[in-house]
Amino acid sequence: MDDSSRRFPERRRFLEQTSLGFGWLAFNGLLADRSFAADVHLSGPRAAARAERVVWFFMDGGLSHIDSFDHKPRLVAENGQPLKLPGKKEDITGRTTPNIMQSPWTFRPYGECGKMVSDLFPHIGSQADDIAFLHAVTSPSPDHESAIGFLHSGSLLQGFPSVGAWANYGLGSDSANLPGFVVMGSRKRQCRTNGFLPPSFQASQFFGGGTEPLADLKPREAFRQLQDNKLRTVRQLDGLFLEATHDNRIIEAAIANHEQAHSMQASVPEAAELAGESSATLAHYGVGSANQELDAFGRYCLTARRLLERGVRFIEIASNGWDQHDKLKTDHAKHALAVDQPIAAFLADLKARGLLDSTLVVFATEFGRTPNTELFGSEPGRDHHPWGFTIWMAGGGTKGGTSHGSLDDYGYFPVEGAVDIHDIHATVLHLLGIDHKQLTYRHSGR
């Protein structure tokens, strides 16, 4: 061990032990000023961007495509009959019957495009002319954990960056005081992971507004002076590290990160404070509803709009609990009620403010659900179905009122325009002005 190693404690351990008050989530989410980012290797200039920012809605658990945005009349005509389909896959749970189950919801046409959307999502249906539906998306995994990882990173293996982390790495944030990548509504690592990218590119996890939208961000007032003293000490130690290591980029970036975290103590609560919004806007998003899930998701969506306006690059908002092996009608209806109005309000609000054209909105789930019935409990459900499902996009260079790809009459296999998750990621990056083949990061010698 050399003198410098004995003289200075390992920095991460020191910061953990001294607890700066703005918390590890804030510290790891720091970042985004491109001047302090890691070296970004784009082998060529950034292409013209159609979108400047992304909001990614994630329906965690597996939203049924055939009960939401992919109308299949044949399921009604053959309801209760055995599904006879060549090449049909083995059931995942072993509880699935061969019998077809029609959707419990009626589909209706919406907008000038006449898009058929079920009664689960009437508010989103009203925005159909601004939405591009992808009806033949496929995933390689029927398992939640690996499928969620694949949806976010494009890999079935752990340790790869999420698409939000890549966007943050490639472009950073437009705000010096806010993170470039934010996740709301989920604690799952697949949603926020930086993978092999530097930790500064992982997501900051935000919560539903209030005085502490980001955990441990703001110290109690009695400890403000203590925190300031600690921050000064860390600055001094960073200066000593700089002298000892001569690594200007790393140490100077760390010093800047401390300053940014300090400034986030004011900027984050301000961005998440909804009191200044009009009563009409709050009601439009469902904020203040007696339905607690609707109120919470509405707060996420309205906070997301405010974060976008302040320069945050990539925001993911998750809705949990869509894994209906049973109680499909009851629980899909409950979850849809919580997200339908806020998402539609978000789209309409962005459009009214002139932000939709420069904001790419993605609505995704890890897989769909089977057309045949799963009997597990008192009310029927559907099994996992990764072989064909729906993701939609709006704004940010997409063409609204359109549908791409199709599944067979049962909503089982793609028959036209199949879309891989890698295609989704490449499209998101392309609309941000990034060629995914040119966005690289050296890791493990590669």
Query: In this predicted model, what pLDDT tens digit does every residue of 374-385 receive, in sequence order?
Result: 988 789 999 999
The DSSP letter of residue 291 is S
What pLDDT digit, counting tens, does each position of 409-441 carry? 999 999 999 999 999 999 999 999 998 777 777
Token pair in block for residue 158: 């752990």
Residue with tokens 């729906």: 390
Which pLDDT score, from 0 to 100, does residue 48 have?
Answer: 84
SS3 content of the chain, % helix, strand, coil (to 5): 40, 20, 40
pLDDT band of residue 160 (cuts 50, 70, 90) is very high
The CATH homologous superfamily to which domain 46-214+280-438 belongs is: Alkaline Phosphatase, subunit A (3.40.720.10)
Phi-psi region of 239 (alpha: psi -120 to 50; beta: other; left: phi over 0): alpha
Among candidates 185, 251, 212, which has minimal Cα distance to 22?
212
Three-state DSSP state, 279 = helix
Burial letters for 328-351: b for 16+ Cβ neighbours within 10 Å, e otherwise?
A: bbebbeebbbbbbbbbbbbbbbbb
For the ranges 73-77, 177-181, 195-199, the one whose mean pLDDT is highest: 73-77
**Cα–chain-centroid distance for residue 295?**
19
Length of the chain: 446
C-alpha span between 206 and 325 (Å, rounded): 30
Token pair in block for residue 224: 């403000």
Which pLDDT score, from 0 to 100, does residue 94 have?
Answer: 78
Using a pLDDT cut of 70, give the percent of the chain over it. Answer: 76
pLDDT at 52 over 90: yes
- Mean pLDDT, rounded, for 118-133: 99
Which pLDDT score, from 0 to 100, does residue 115 have?
Answer: 99
C-beta neighbour count of 290 within 10 angstroms: 6
How far from each other are the two terminal CA atoms of the chain, in whole angstroms?
Answer: 29
Handedness of CA 349, 353, 354, 357 (dihedral sign): negative
pLDDT at 218 over 90: no
pLDDT band of residue 106 (cuts 50, 70, 90) is very high
- Mean pLDDT, rounded, for 316-321: 97
pLDDT band of residue 173 (cuts 50, 70, 90) is confident
- Mean pLDDT, rounded, for 177-204: 88
pLDDT band of residue 189 (cuts 50, 70, 90) is confident
pLDDT at 335 over 60: yes
User: What kind and span of H or E run contains 423?
Assistant: helix 421-431
